Amino acid sequence: MSSAVAGQSTLSFSELGVPADLCAVLADRGITTPTPIQTATLPDSLAGRDVLGRGRTGSGKTYAFLLPLVARLVASGRQARPTAPRALILAPTRELVGQIQEALEPLAATAGLSTRTVFGGVGQNPQVQGLRRGVDIVIACPGRLEDLIGQGHCTLGSIETTVLDEADHMADLGFLPAVRRLLDQTPRNGQRLLFSATLDKAIDVLVKRFLSSPVTHEADSAQSPVAAMDHHVLHLDREHRVPVLVDLTSAPGRTVVFTRTKHGAKALTRQLNKNGVPTVELHGNLSQNARTRNMDAFHSGKATTLVATDIAARGIHVDDVALVVHADPPVEHKAYLHRSGRTARAGAAGTVITLMTDEQVRDVRDLTRAAGIKPTTTRINGAAHPVLVQLAPGDRVTVPGGLVVEAPAPAQGGGRPNGGDGSGARSGGGRNRSRRGRGGQGSRGTGGASGQAKGSAGSASGGKPGGKPGGKPGGSANGSGNGGGSRRRSGAGAKGGQSRPGSGTHSAASFSSGRR
């Protein structure tokens, strides 16, 4: 196995061997200069070699494998047969599968290739019908794909190229047995491309078993943080965490906040909405429809804040995320780097903030050291500290009630529970009736999205919520705020009628417990 570390290059996509029609598709999307990982891997992958590529999140790995995959399928000239796809891309989460599909669609359309996504949490019939018609490229989560293979709807004996994206994440989530079973079903003489943000022993198992004389390309240091990313630690008391989060997330721009658990993500989403910050959640207890609605709301700007567990740390790309906040510091440094990679993408600048209480000082120190960063640490006492305006500049704007819950149609059908992709989501959620609140209107929805807050900008710990938190997890917060427009305050310490978040210990601790 040969290895190389990528350096700077002035070569164009065309000079690297990418066909002209695919270069034109990239140019139409404003992509004209290859990233280091693309420059390093494209000559070998286009030539048909097995490639092991490592680059940090946001480094351009998706096009590094999509371009050679499409080019080589076109060059082989074979036709897709029913239930026998020609190429397979495996990814760990439904959201990542969707994003790969979005990047692939214009390339495949230009090349005359068909594609099909396969993942759990939704009904399998459209996936089955697509496979029966014959498809060139399948982008799949391992669990649902194994289900369909077991039911006789798909075979992997005609696969020409196999791609493993976010291979280290699949190892973390326990997908390795399923991945091994799937790769065992692909032809041994097929091309295999494995891309990962980190390389470890778990990845070595796959490399030794399935890659033939691979060339390894590393585009940057395994612990290399983004140059345009500023890292900060805010040392605060536990009761100040929610007020500080409300202040940071009510600043202009998109913010992603990470919690350790699914329960914590749901609780914090409810608290931020109650305090006027339009917020949606993303975690494994949501149905696929809810996850899609919430991500659409965040992409469109209806929600300015996304609260997520580590399910969103890898592969989720949202443009213009200015701020990432670790409300709960992650357990290990790889998760820190992947979480932080939601900002400062494609050359843009970004800020990463970790909230740290007294009992977390040693853990955060060890975490940042392992991640290879030297953050700026500031001791603050509540949401009036001037450093908050420096880290998240601009007027603070709140919308009474946050993001009002709409009433989506109940989910119909939906395949096996848990969907086989490790997220634990069912396709239908428990029903929930939310009460009418003063700051906006309640609604009847499917799932456990937070009810409408009572009062437009109530305390984080005080005040009675206007809506019940809901039955089973599985719903979403979606739609626009309703009830009196927005309130604006300049800077972190301004008054002007804005209700200050409370400081009860219950709300401050509530997003740090439960299951991830």
Give the pLDDT score at 326.
94
Can you tell me the distance from the alpha carbon of 235 to that of 515, in angstroms, rounded to the nearest whole number? 25
Residue 324 β-bridge partners: 256, 352
Domain boundaries along the sequence of the chain: 2-218, 229-408+430-512
Which candidate, 466, 463, 473, 459, places its Cα nearest to that of 502? 459
- Three-state SS at 484: coil
Burial profile 307-326: b = 16 or more Cβ within 10 angstroms, e = fewer: bbbbbbbbbbbbeebbbbbb
CATH topology of domain 229-408+430-512: Rossmann fold (3.40.50)
2-218 to CATH, choices 3.40.50.300, 3.60.20.10, 3.40.50.720, 1.10.620.20: 3.40.50.300
Whole-structure pTM value: 0.58
**Cα angle value 320/261/285 (rounded, 5°):** 85
Can you tell me the distance from the alpha carbon of 451 to that of 266, in angstroms, rounded to the nearest whole number? 11
Q: What is the DSSP letter of 109?
A: H
Q: What is the DSSP string of 49-90?
A: --EEEE--TTSSHHHHHHHHHHHHHHHH----BTTB-SEEEE
* Per-residue pLDDT tens listing for the chain (516 residues): 555 554 445 789 999 999 999 999 999 999 999 999 999 999 999 999 999 998 766 678 899 999 999 999 999 999 999 999 999 999 988 888 988 999 999 999 999 999 999 999 889 999 999 999 999 999 999 999 999 999 999 999 999 999 999 888 787 667 889 999 999 999 999 999 999 877 777 788 889 999 999 999 987 544 444 445 689 999 999 999 999 999 999 999 899 999 999 999 999 999 999 999 999 999 888 887 888 899 889 988 899 999 998 775 555 666 678 899 999 998 877 778 777 765 544 444 578 999 999 999 999 999 998 888 889 999 998 888 999 999 999 999 999 888 865 434 444 444 433 334 443 333 333 333 333 333 333 333 333 333 333 333 333 333 333 444 444 444 443 433 333 444 444 444 333 333 333 333 334 344 544 444
CB atoms within 10 A of CB 366: 12
**Do the domains at 2-218 and 229-408+430-512 have one common CATH topology?**
yes
**Amino acid identity at 37:** I
Tokens of 343: 């900002």
Can you tell me the distance from the alpha carbon of 341 to that of 352, in angstroms, rounded to the nearest whole number? 9
Sign of CA dihedral 201, 202, 203, 206: positive
Q: 150: Cβ–Cβ under 8 A, 6 or more apart, which residues? A: none
Q: What is the DSSP letter of 217?
A: E
Question: Phi/psi at 5 (nearest 5 deg)?
Answer: -105, 125
Can you tell me the distance from the alpha carbon of 303 to that of 320, in angstroms, rounded to the nearest whole number? 13
Give the pLDDT score at 466.
41
Residue 84 β-bridge partners: 81
- Three-state SS at 82: coil
Can you tell me the distance from the alpha carbon of 127 to that of 116, in angstroms, rounded to the nearest whole number? 7
